[in-house]
Amino acid sequence: MTRTTTWWRYVLLALAAIVFAFPFYFMVVGAFQENPTNTPDEMFPTSGWTFGNFTAINARIDLLGSLANSLIFTAGVLLGTVTFGLLAGYALARLDFRGKSATWVLMMLVQMVPFQLLMIPLYVQITRSYGLGDTYLGMILPFLINTTAVFIFTQFFKALPKEMFEAARIDGASELRILRSVAVPMVRPALVTVVLVTFIGPWNEFLWPFLITKDTSLQPLAVSLANYISNAAQSTANPNGAILAGATALAFPVVILFLLFQRYFTASDIGAAVKG
């Protein structure tokens, strides 16, 4: 590969990065502007900066409280997804039991069913049968087990050398000990992937929390912002700025999480655990 070809490749990658990052740039700049516009001569403003857009949102929806609700909701979903995903993925990949193939096929079929089709029966079951309406647990419960996470963990566990597990069993380790001390450290990329993918889902989830709770003190940020944009944003002095400020507040934690964990997106050295 010539130096000229390499140079053009970097130029194209840089242009693609700019194109993908521009909407986020426009959102952040508009969130801190007194009068955000999309005219070309104001793409790089040098004045008119303000925190008033965030103040306007906080005056209507309790921005910090909604952020805390989103964190509780998302953390509960993450805990359940990682815990049950690891256990189910390990069992499907490394244990032999009756009905294993049927369980795998059933899990794949569940992935084909849109959550929206199950939303109404789940709502009736959780609110009427379990009495969990207007509670954090009611919001979290339908998302505790994520079949996508189970699939990712299963595929990663299958890629690990079977000699590792046989050696651990010969040494007398239990299956939970093998999972904790042998398997999990080797699938860190899968763990990070599941955390990031799962975080984005509940963090941006609107329909289910909106159905399950009408108590504004429990509503996550996505629900509060949707209500604010549809009912109150147009009455502010700067509607566009308020909407962009809300979008920035919702997107900022996802960006921070990605920046913190992106360095773990590396292939694990699974061959190092096997001699020869």
> Which tens digits make up the pLDDT trace of 155-201?
889 888 888 888 888 888 888 888 888 888 888 888 888 888 888 88
Q: What pLDDT is recorded for position 75?
A: 93
Q: pLDDT category, 266, cuts 50, 70, 90?
A: low
Q: pLDDT category, 233, cuts 50, 70, 90?
A: low
Q: pLDDT category, 268, cuts 50, 70, 90?
A: very low
Q: Does residue 274 have a pLDDT over 60?
A: no
Q: What pLDDT is recorded for position 108?
A: 85
Residue of higher predicted confidence among 259 and 233:
259
C-alpha to C-alpha distance for 55 and 50, rounded to whole angstroms: 10
195 neighbors 78 (Cβ within 8 angstroms): yes
Q: What pLDDT is recorded for position 264?
A: 63
Average pLDDT, the chain: 83
Q: What pLDDT is recorded for position 84?
A: 93
Q: pLDDT category, 255, cuts 50, 70, 90?
A: confident
CATH topology of domain 51-273: MetI-like fold (1.10.3720)
What is the separation, in whole angstroms, between the first and last Cα of the chain?
35
The β-bridge partners of 33 are 49
pLDDT for 34-85, tens place per residue?
Answer: 876 644 456 677 677 888 888 888 888 888 888 899 999 999 999 999 999 9
Please give the share of the chain, as a percent, with pLDDT higher than 90. 15
H helices within the chain, ranges in order? 3-31, 52-61, 63-94, 100-111, 115-124, 136-140, 147-159, 162-170, 175-178, 184-186, 188-204, 207-212, 221-231, 239-261
Residue of higher predicted confidence among 233 and 160:
160
pLDDT for 84-115, tens place per residue?
Answer: 999 999 999 888 888 888 988 888 888 888 88
CB atoms inside a 10 Å sphere around CB 211: 18
Which single residue is written with the structure tokens 């994520």? 146
Whole-model pTM: value is: 0.80
Q: What pLDDT is recorded for position 87?
A: 92
Q: What pLDDT is recorded for position 48?
A: 76
Q: Does residue 9 have a pLDDT over 60?
A: yes
3-state secondary structure of 267: coil
Q: What pLDDT is recorded for position 69?
A: 92
190: CB partners within 8 A, 6+ apart: 152, 153, 155, 156
Pick the closest to residue 190 from 146, 244, 249 (CA basis). Answer: 146
